[in-house]
């Protein structure tokens, strides 16, 4: 009865974790959340079949369902979710998705149809005692793939540093690695009464990782204990309103070569001297999946702030790329080098930079120095109405 009770509790916690991960996936949609949800569904379905197995002895169907969830879907999708959560390189993500299809579809088909041999009883059946060489080899390959994904994710987080969000990411990956290890051990060894107990730890660790990943991040640069950066909450919260009320006054410094009477008369700035050329910056952002609207809302708010508060930023524009939906191009033209420095220190730009990681996976910056130009007088007014 102890075995039955532990298995039932682990299945019940598994269904609770699945419901919670579904809520987290709705709160913060993303591939990682979906991967962890698939892992939870696979493990929980296997544990639900195991409840029948420990009550009435395992059979081929309950054995296959248990192994599909505990040995294959659980470890692979927990590890893939960790990889998607931690690694930002688009090429690496694309490659992992190609391998994921190989290590999911083929092993699932083989585990579902290959002959299961040996005598079953009421304890968790080990994989090797009932499957032949080919299904064992496929499961081994899938689990090695899971280990590679986890190690790569850990390295990626470690390279970014372990301060603030990096520490949280490391805890999330540690919980996922623990859940994956426990699931693999139970699938390979069974472990009798320890099997459902370890699976209870696995689903609890997966649940904890999902909850921590979905939790709003604490801003490590903010000393106010009552203020939290809700960068992972719904971006439909009016970002424009937040940025329309900066926490500090805009930065204002006297420009080089400025007329001393500019402080008393609101005249137009003197033309740029040949030795103090206009400066330009082109920034190319590669967005995370599903983050286009959030980035555009954030960028539009910043454009409004620049237009209203930065007279020496002559042009600041954000563009979509029709042929590349996950790319955005932002370019700016500054009156001089000092104007560029002032722009980068504005409160709204610091806030913009702080919120970017929630939307962007890669950034390329190209700095320009004007050599010659021709433009209509109304260009800036058309692009940046004041």
On the question of a common fold for 2-214 and 239-251+275-383, the answer reads no
pLDDT at 53 exceeding the cut of 50: yes
DSSP strand pairing (279-287 vs 360-369): antiparallel
Q: Between residues 354 and 274, which one has the greater pLDDT?
A: 354
Report the pLDDT averaged over residues 103-117. Answer: 90
Tokens of 301: 């708010």
Q: How confident is the model at residue 207 (pLDDT cuts 50, 70, 90)?
A: very high
Report the pLDDT averaged over residues 231-260. Answer: 47
| Mean pLDDT for all residues in the chain | 81
Tokens of 155: 């390295």
Q: How confident is the model at residue 282 (pLDDT cuts 50, 70, 90)?
A: very high
Q: What is the CATH number of domain 239-251+275-383?
A: 3.30.70.100
Closest CA to 72 of 159, 178, 187: 187
- Amino acid 276: pLDDT: 58
Which residue, chain included where needed, has tokens 């064992």? Answer: 136
- Amino acid 374: pLDDT: 63
- Amino acid 158: pLDDT: 86
- Amino acid 257: pLDDT: 47
- Amino acid 227: pLDDT: 33
Report the pLDDT averaged over residues 87-102. Answer: 89
pLDDT at 372 exceeding the cut of 80: no
Chain-centre distance for alpha carbon 23: 16
Q: In what order do the strands lie in the sheet with 327-334?
A: 313-320, 327-334, 279-287, 360-369
Burial of 143 (0-12, 13-18, 19+ CB in 10 A): buried
pLDDT at 238 exceeding the cut of 60: no
Task: Give the tens place of pLDDT for each residue, 154-185.
Answer: 998 888 776 656 788 899 999 999 999 999 99
* Residue partners of 8: CB distance under 8 A and separation at least 6: 51
Report the pLDDT averaged over residues 141-163. Answer: 88
For residue 231, give the 3-state DSSP assignment: coil
pTM of the model: 0.59
User: Alpha-carbon distance 51 to 8, whole Å?
Assistant: 6
pLDDT at 136 exceeding the cut of 60: yes
Considering the segment(s) 2-214 as one domain, its CATH architecture is Up-down Bundle (1.20)
Q: Between residues 372 and 297, which one has the greater pLDDT?
A: 297
Q: Where are the domains of the chain?
A: 2-214, 239-251+275-383
């Amino acid at each position: 009865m102890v075995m039955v009770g532990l298995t039932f509790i682990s299945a019940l916690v598994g269904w609770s974790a699945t419901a919670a991960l579904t809520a987290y996936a709705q709160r913060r949609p993303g591939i990682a959340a979906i991967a962890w949800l698939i892992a939870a569904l696979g493990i929980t379905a296997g544990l639900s079949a195991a409840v029948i197995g420990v009550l009435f002895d395992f059979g081929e169907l309950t054995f296959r369902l248990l192994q599909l969830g505990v040995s294959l879907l659980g470890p692979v999708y927990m590890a893939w979710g960790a990889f998607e959560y931690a690694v930002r390189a688009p090429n690496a993500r694309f490659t992992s998705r190609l391998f994921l299809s190989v290590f999911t579809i083929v092993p699932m088909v083989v585990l579902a149809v290959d002959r299961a041999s040996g005598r079953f009883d009421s304890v968790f059946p080990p994989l090797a005692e009932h499957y032949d060489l080919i299904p064992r080899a496929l499961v081994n390959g899938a689990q090695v793939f899971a280990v590679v994904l986890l190690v790569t994710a850990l390295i990626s987080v470690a390279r970014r540093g372990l301060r603030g969000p990096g520490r949280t990411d490391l805890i999330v990956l540690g919980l996922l690695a623990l859940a994956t290890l426990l699931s693999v051990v139970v699938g390979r060894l069974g472990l009798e009464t320890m099997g459902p107990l370890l699976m209870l730890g696995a689903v609890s660790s997966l649940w904890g990782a999902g909850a921590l990943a979905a939790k709003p991040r604490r801003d490590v640069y903010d000393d106010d204990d009552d203020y939290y950066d809700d960068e992972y909450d719904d971006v439909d919260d009016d970002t424009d309103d937040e940025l329309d009320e900066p926490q500090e006054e805009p930065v204002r410094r006297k420009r080089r070569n400025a007329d001393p009477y500019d402080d008393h008369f609101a005249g137009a700035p003197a033309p740029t001297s040949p030795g103090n050329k206009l400066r330009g910056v082109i920034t190319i952002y590669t967005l995370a999946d599903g983050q286009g609207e959030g980035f555009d809302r954030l960028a539009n708010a910043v454009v409004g702030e620049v237009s209203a508060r930065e007279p020496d930023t002559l042009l600041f524009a954000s563009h979509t790329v029709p042929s590349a939906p996950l790319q955005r191009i932002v370019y700016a033209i500054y009156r001089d080098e000092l104007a560029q420095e002032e722009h980068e220190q504005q409160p709204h730009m610091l806030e913009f930079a702080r919120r970017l990681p929630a939307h962007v996976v890669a950034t390329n910056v190209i700095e320009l120095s004007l050599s010659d130009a021709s433009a209509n007088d109304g260009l800036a007014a058309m692009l940046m109405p004041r």
